[in-house]
């Protein structure tokens, strides 16, 4: 099974970490975005620029998701679509989305959207920290090794 990492690239804070893990394991990376992003010139790295249509990057990633793919995204609905296609999914903080955790994440997302729609002032996510970066590196390395060994998501 060929392993590849699909990155929801527009707001991904861990692209450099993804490249390091990919180079170490010799795994292809596809960075998907709505705008042209600079990526290092390397044969394992490629970029796909989709239209700026609503969810165009998510749709492309979901269509490419399959067993052997590792999807990096903070988007809960994209995570759900990728999981249903058999991919492994990690958030940029290193938290894995799983078939058993995604339902709760979707429900929480819906509750928060309802609260915001009702005018409640909610704080955003915590600032991205060095511990998040470290946790992500470890989680991605673990995911790549598991996929290479043929372990199911």
Please give the model's pTM, rounded to 2 decimal places: 0.84
CA atoms of 129 and 139, how far apart (whole Å): 15
18's CB contacts (< 8 A; 6+ apart) are 5, 7, 12, 29, 72, 140
- Half-sphere exposure in the Cβ direction for 2 (13 Å, CA): 7
Q: Where are the domains of the chain?
A: 4-148
pLDDT in single tens digits along all 153 residues of the chain: 689 999 999 889 999 999 999 999 999 999 999 999 999 999 999 999 998 888 899 999 999 999 999 999 999 899 999 999 999 999 999 999 987 776 666 656 556 666 667 666 666 666 778 898 999 999 999 999 999 998 765
CA atoms of 48 and 131, how far apart (whole Å): 29
CATH class of the structural domain 4-148 = alpha beta
């Amino acid at each position: 099974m060929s392993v590849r990492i699909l990155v929801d690239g527009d707001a991904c804070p861990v692209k450099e970490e993804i490249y390091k893990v990919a180079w170490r394991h010799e795994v292809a990376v596809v960075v998907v975005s709505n705008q042209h992003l600079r990526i290092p010139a390397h044969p394992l790295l490629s970029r796909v620029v989709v239209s700026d249509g609503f969810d165009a990057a998510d749709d492309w990633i979901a269509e490419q998701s399959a067993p052997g793919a590792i999807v990096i995204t903070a988007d809960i609905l994209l995570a759900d679509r990728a999981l249903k296609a058999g991919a492994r999914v990690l958030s940029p903080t290193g938290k894995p989305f799983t078939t058993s955790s995604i339902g709760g994440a979707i429900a929480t997302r819906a509750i928060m959207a309802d609260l915001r729609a009702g005018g409640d002032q909610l704080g955003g996510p915590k600032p991205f920290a060095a511990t998040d970066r470290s946790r992500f590196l470890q989680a991605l390395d673990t995911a790549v090794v598991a996929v290479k060994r043929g372990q199911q998501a």
